Structure 1
Amino acid sequence: MQHRTRIAVLGSALAVAAAGFAAPSALAVDGDLKIDKVTVNGGKPIELGTTAGKTFKVTVTATDDSGIDTADITLYGPNSHVALPQGAVKCEASSATTSACTGTFTLDPDTDFYDNTPAGGWYVDAMVTAKDIDSLLVEKAASFKVQRAAKLTANAAPEPIKKGKTLTITGALTRANWETHKYAAYGNQSATLEFKKKGATAYTAVKTVKADSRGNLKTTVKATVDGSFRYTFAGNSTTSAVKAAGDAVDVCSPT
């Protein structure tokens, strides 16, 4: 039987594939052979601190009338960064025609990165080969984010405080620097001040606060009832979302 390989580029399917969902029918089809979906790290970004690596899985689900034999997966990032799987990609059949092929990857900022350029959008190239030896290569079959891990603090003062007095909430936003392997200030970013009343189960947004050039946050509110304040940062393409630990405040009677 003649071996044929079909190549597809699926830039338009990136947003769908990155979330771990299949396109309306399949990501790519060549006759009976098709790639149904590609999932990276369960649909979550890869968040890396200053030294510790992270191991994660990439799964390609594919279908062919003859069944799926093998798969190859390669990850590409900014500034020509490439990641290959640890060992062979393993395909497990869920039926006579469909298999989930999974590769295990590790990204380690201490050994793999020399600077911060790998942070941002990455994508997956996936190739599957059916048991009838037809192959399908899908370039940019999925996208995902590799992010610099962030840290955030919050401190409310003075404590305790009388009702109606001004409470000052300070904090600091930092993120991993893969050049120095330390956390460094992440300035000029917006964070949300949140409050949770004592006895409540959830925080609610109070206001948006912008950090200065050194990542420092500072704002004031009027003390009304006992509860906890915290800052949250929504994250972006290069930096992870983060929530500070809540700082409890005891509000006393003014008399």
Structure 2
Amino acid sequence: MRIRATVAAVSGALALSALAVPAAHAAGPSTHRADAAKAFQAAHPATSSRAGISARVAADEGWPYDLDVIFFNLKVAKAIKVGTTHNVSTTITYTMKFGADVDVRAKDFFTYPYLYKGPFNNLQHLLYSDRPATCSVTSPSTAICKGEIDIYPPWLFNSNAGTWRAGAQATAFNGQDPQSDDIDWSKVGFIDRGGLGTTLVQRNSKLTTGAKPKPVKKGRTVTVTGKLTRANWESREYSGYSGQAVKLQFRKKGTTTYKTLKTVRTNSTGSLKTTVKATVDGYYRFSFAGTTTTPAVNAPGDLVRVKK
């Protein structure tokens, strides 16, 4: 979805997705998304008007009826790391149970997963798919669906990092033309449900470690420096993460396990500096446990040889 996540405060999922369809996708999958958005607006005319969205569809004949579809067993990654340049795709799967009058194989039946922040009845931030989910019908009343959501760093604010909830929607146009001014919305089915799962959308982190002198005499002081940074979605650069507890760890050469020596806090620029006494050859590294907004990260180990 290439729209900034705080374009508008909208109740429901689809209204926001209709506000900005990128030119590169305007004639492709986003057309389906825009059509589904019209169904949402028709089902929620009061919300659409408050959000500044065209109320034309709300004035058309009838409102969409409640589609006989239930969503459950939604699965999404526990965390999604987003850097500063490349888009990140995440897959959402869910099961859809539908009534006998719902033709999920119809060409004009669409279902989408999405991620949102804030209360479901007053959405403020939304991440939505450019393409409908693909579904495999497993019984006369059940289908398993899979959709992908593309997250573009330039369209996120730093404040968007943290917990997001997942939802899904489905629209059955039943032969009605969503592009027509004479569409009979009472013949269109629509369903939209939130609170189906949660994930963390996080500002990707980086951590460095450097130890000196090399080599060092046994019993002498080793100075270990490093820096903890995380993606700044607004400047499109990595910036220092201040005031964070970071562990200094050591792994003896020839072993595989790191042991924590002490905990150090990053300064105002995200930098780290501490000292230890040299004992044996081994690797020093900093390790960050992570927060809800920033993922855990381990720096590569830096080998220091000890002379007698």
- Bin the TM-score by the shorter chain: 0.7 to 0.9
Instruction: Measure, in 2, the Cα distance between the counterparts of 1:108 and 1:197.
Output: 41
Asked whether the equivalents of residues 98 and 142 of structure 2 are also in contact (C-alpha less than 8 Å), the reply is yes
Match of 1:100 in 2: 144
Percentage of pairs with the same residue: 40
Decide which moves more: 97-106 or 50-59: 97-106
Match of 1:76 in 2: 116
Equivalent residue of 1:154, what SS? strand
Counterpart selection for 1:55 from 89, 108, 125: 89
Match of 1:37 in 2: 73
Instruction: Measure, in 2, the Cα distance between the counterparts of 1:194 and 1:154.
Output: 10
Match of 1:118 in 2: 160
Q: What runs of 5+ residues in structure 1 fail to find an aligned partner?
A: 1-31
Deviation at 1:251, TM superposition (A): 0.9
More strand by share: 1
Larger radius of gyration: 2
* TM-score, normalization by structure 1: 0.75
More helix by share: 2
Q: What runs of 5+ residues in structure 2 fail to find an aligned partner?
A: 1-67, 105-109, 173-188
Match of 1:10 in 2: none
Match of 2:271 in 1: 216
Deviation at 1:62, TM superposition (A): 3.8
Match of 1:233 in 2: 288
Asked whether the equivalents of residues 72 and 196 of structure 2 are also in contact (C-alpha less than 8 Å), the reply is no
Deviation at 1:73, TM superposition (A): 1.8
Q: CA RMSD in A?
A: 2.7
Instruction: Measure, in 2, the Cα distance between the counterparts of 1:178 and 1:33.
Output: 37
Instruction: Measure, in 2, the Cα distance between the counterparts of 1:72 and 1:49.
Output: 25
Asked whether the equivalents of residues 114 and 149 of structure 2 are also in contact (C-alpha less than 8 Å), the reply is no
Deviation at 1:100, TM superposition (A): 2.1
* TM-score, normalization by structure 2: 0.63
Deviation at 1:175, TM superposition (A): 1.0
Residues 129-164 of structure 1 deviation map (CA, whole Å, 9 limit, x = unaligned): 89xxx9875321111111111111111111101111
Match of 2:216 in 1: 161
Count of residues in correspondence between the two structures = 216
Instruction: Measure, in 1, the Cα distance between the counterparts of 2:304 and 2:297.
Output: 21
Deviation at 1:185, TM superposition (A): 1.0
Deviation at 1:77, TM superposition (A): 2.9
Asked whether the equivalents of residues 62 and 128 of structure 1 are also in contact (C-alpha less than 8 Å), the reply is no
